[in-house]
Amino acid sequence: MAFDIEMIKKVYSRYEERVNAARNLVNKPLTLSEKILYTHLWDGNATETYDRGVSYVDFAPDRVAMQDATAQMALLQFMQAGRPQAAVPSTVHCDHLIQAKEGAQVDLQRANTESKEVFNFLGSVANKYGIGFWKPGAGIIHQVVLENYAFPGGMMIGTDSHTVNAGGLGMLAIGVGGADACDVMAGLPWELKFPKLIGVKLTGKLSGWTSPKDVILKVAGILTVKGGTGAVVEYFGEGAQSMSCTGKGTICNMGAEIGATTSTFGYDESMERYLRATDRADVADAANAVKEHLTADPEVYANPELYFDQVIEINLSELEPSLNGPFTPDLYTPVSRMREEAAKNGCLQQ
């Protein structure tokens, strides 16, 4: 059974009403990103439309995730709020304070000694305030969130830029500072500038050596490290549907490297398979009941240029594996040209 299934069901129970309220105001078909944004307004049903890239809007995220470095001040502040429990389901993940050197066993033991007081503190605060706590060695925040907490159509914030990884399960998951996490746990609204929307249409199908990583490496090459600033990137098309859920997570994860607010994909069978495989059939069933709201309206993907601020198309059947670098994640080189490019840098041999 999934964590916080009652919260997820509650979110879904109001989805239709809120999507309809937004669609009536916007007066045209909605992208998935807009549906998630408009169903998470702090004030409930939409009463006005917002200008992309201009309006500041108060939202009510469904959950909060924190890593062990940024969680410290966020929780110290949260303790000041005087609440018995965090206002929304929240988790702490110990993954940043473990130095890699010799291998898992030795490294973890050393971290448990060196940062014992921090882990003990985080564990005790989590225990007190109803916050889930993932101990050192349990895993990396964004993978643990994808495996346990992310759900299609949800909105979450996390105190780390790669929180966006959860877009692989059809969420809007956004990286923030500790003060924002503290506010949401304390029961305050969370403010975000209403994002611009970039649509990425994936045609064809991945095969051979090409993988989801190559999709985001290509997108980074096109948009550069600044090209996604202030925007949500929404992926769609037959190529998106034929890709695994964790592969979608890989693409969303590196959306942080192009400066995107976050990235996401519409709910599909790959997500359902992943939810069931990770012991969350209850979430899959709940999502299936509202699935037309967990992706964009069909008109949007049929004519994306009418609904997105920018549209990119990538044919996965023609995509080559690539290596991006050095020193910046947007310097794109397909493997077939790598020998030539690397020779220029003199970094051929490892």
Residue written as token pair 């198309």: 313
In the list 65, 126, 197, 314, the residue contacting other proteins (rule: CB under 8 A) is 126
Residues within window 206-245 making contact with other proteins, judged by CB under 8 A: 207-214, 217, 244
Q: Is 123 in the site for other proteins (CB under 8 A)?
A: yes
Rounded distance between C-alpha atoms, residue 73 and residue 177, angstroms: 10
Nearest approach, Cβ of 191 to other proteins (angstroms)?
8
In the bound state with other proteins, the residue whose beta carbon lies nearer, of 272 and 297, is 272
Residue 100 makes contact with other proteins by CB under 8 A? yes
Q: Does 132 bind other proteins (CB under 8 A)?
A: yes
Q: Is 246 in the site for other proteins (CB under 8 A)?
A: yes
Among 8, 19, 131, 172, binds other proteins (CB under 8 A): 131
Handedness of CA 54, 59, 61, 64 (dihedral sign): positive
Please identify which residue in 80, 113, 318, 344 interacts with other proteins, judged by CB under 8 A.
80
Q: If 0-12 CB within 10 Å is exposed, 13-18 middle and 19+ buried, where does residue 326 land?
A: exposed
- Residues 6 or more apart whose Cβ sits within 8 Å of residue 225: 257, 258, 259, 328, 329, 330
Pick out residues in 161-200 that bind other proteins (CB under 8 A).
162, 165, 176-180, 182-183, 186-188, 191
Name which position in 14, 16, 51, 79 contacts other proteins (CB under 8 A).
79
**Residues 313-342 vs other proteins: string with x where CB under 8 A?**
--------xxxxxxxxx-----xx-xxx-x
CB neighbours (10 Å) of residue 147?
Answer: 16
How many angstroms separate the CA atoms of 158 and 152, rounded? 16
How far is it, in rounded angstroms, from Cα 340 to Cα 335? Answer: 10
Distance between terminal CA atoms of the chain? 46
Report the site for other proteins in 4-33 (rule: CB under 8 A).
none
